[in-house]
């Protein structure tokens, strides 16, 4: 069974540019989550999709961040325009169904560096 995959694994961009991160969850997983970890700090929740619907986007930092999950399959997280403080590792995770508190299956993350 394929795991959660994220693209790219690394991205280096300049301040003001746009970056789009992609996450492919495990097939059949309705729940998809985005998390971010700034160096050395906690892994912070950004948002939660159930299928194609945003269930909770309380962790999105500001309107420079836009997440989509068209068709309820893969998801993209766009940062436009990127700022220095957006640097960090962006993790995607998925879980199967409607039961809360399930364990999360994580991707390997995208390391974003904004210069």
Tell me the HSE value of 62 on the side-chain side, using a 13 A CA sphere: 8
Task: Choose one: 18-26, 55-63, 68-76, 77-85; the region binding other proteins (CB under 8 A).
Answer: 55-63
For residues 94 and 26, the answer to whether their CB atoms sit within 8 Å is yes
In degrees, to the nearest 5, what angle opens at C-alpha 89 toward C-alphas 73 and 13?
A: 95
The 60-89 site mask, x for binding other proteins (CB under 8 A), equals ------------------------------
- Could you say whether residue 1 binds other proteins (CB under 8 A)? no
Tokens of 71: 């068709």
Name, in order, each residue with C-beta under 8 angstroms of 94's C-beta and a sequence gap of 6 or more: 4, 25, 26, 29, 31, 32, 33, 104, 105
Residue from 19, 34, 35, 86 binding other proteins (CB under 8 A): 35
Task: Choose one: 17-25, 51-59, 64-72, 80-88; the region binding other proteins (CB under 8 A).
Answer: 51-59
Interface with other proteins (CB under 8 A), residue total 26
Residue from 21, 69, 86, 107 binding other proteins (CB under 8 A): 107
Residue listed under structure tokens 């997440």:
67
Residues that bind other proteins (CB under 8 A): 3-4, 31, 33, 35, 40-45, 48, 55-56, 58-59, 91, 93, 100-101, 103-104, 106-109
């Amino acid at each position: 069974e394929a795991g959660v995959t994220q693209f790219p694994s690394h991205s280096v961009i300049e301040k003001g540019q746009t970056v789009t991160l992609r996450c492919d969850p495990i097939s059949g997983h309705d729940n998809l989550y985005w998390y971010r970890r700034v160096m050395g700090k906690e892994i912070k929740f950004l948002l939660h999709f159930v299928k194609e619907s945003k269930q909770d986007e309380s962790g999105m930092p500001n309107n420079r961040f836009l997440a989509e999950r068209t068709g309820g399959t893969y998801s993209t997280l766009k940062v436009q325009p990127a700022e220095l403080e957006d640097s960090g590792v962006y993790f995607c995770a998925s879980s199967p169904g409607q039961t809360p508190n399930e364990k999360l299956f994580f991707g390997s993350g995208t390391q974003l560096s904004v210069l």
